[in-house]
Every structure is written in C-alpha cells, then in structure tokens.
Amino acid sequence: MDLSITILNLLTKLCNIRKRMRWQIRCNYVSPEGNAIFNILFYDNYSNELYGDIAFQQGDEAVLYCKFASFNEFRNSNLTDLLLDLINYEKSLLSTETKNYD
C-alpha cells in the first residue's frame, strides 16, 4: 500500500493536534480484480481505545465509511478532503477547550 505523501502528512498533522492519538492502517478486503479496501484506525496512545475508523478504496481514495469521535459531518468524499475536515474539527475542539479554561 502506497499512501501519498499528502495523506501521510495529513495523518501526522491530525495526530499532532490530539497528542495522545496514533494511527495505523490495515487492509480489510481485496477483490479478485485487485481492488482493495483499507481502514485507517485511530487509537488513544494510553488506553488503546478506538477513537476513529475510516474505510477507503485504494485506487481513487474514495471514503466508504467514517466514524471519528463525535464528528457527524461525513459525506461521500475522498480521503484528502475528509482528513482536512477532521483536522479542522479537531482544531475547533481544541479552541473550544482553550476558551473554557479562560
């Protein structure tokens, strides 16, 4: 599985926002034609709780499924767009948490 450098950078950026989060990727299914479906799983570093799950097709990076914390704005999109949405979502949570402490 070759992920583009853009996807790798976005995954790194997402995990840098939420310091206790890590990601891993696994192949979930390969059809006889060679089309693969992969999952990106997000875990809490300390508790190993599943924080999120994204399923996407290898070729066109079309997202088939997304469950990420309380993020409810999933719509059919490609992986890059979804990761950008998740980064903005995490930043908005972070700014909300910061405002609550002021």
pLDDT one-digit tens code per residue, 37-93? 999 999 999 999 999 999 999 888 999 999 998 887 777 789 999 999 999 999 988
Say if residues 38 and 56 touch (Cβ distance below 8 Å): yes
pTM: 0.86
DSSP 62: B
Whether residue 101 has pLDDT greater than 50: no
User: What are the tokens at 38?
Assistant: 């992969």
pLDDT digits (tens, 9 = 90+) for 23-32: 999 998 998 9
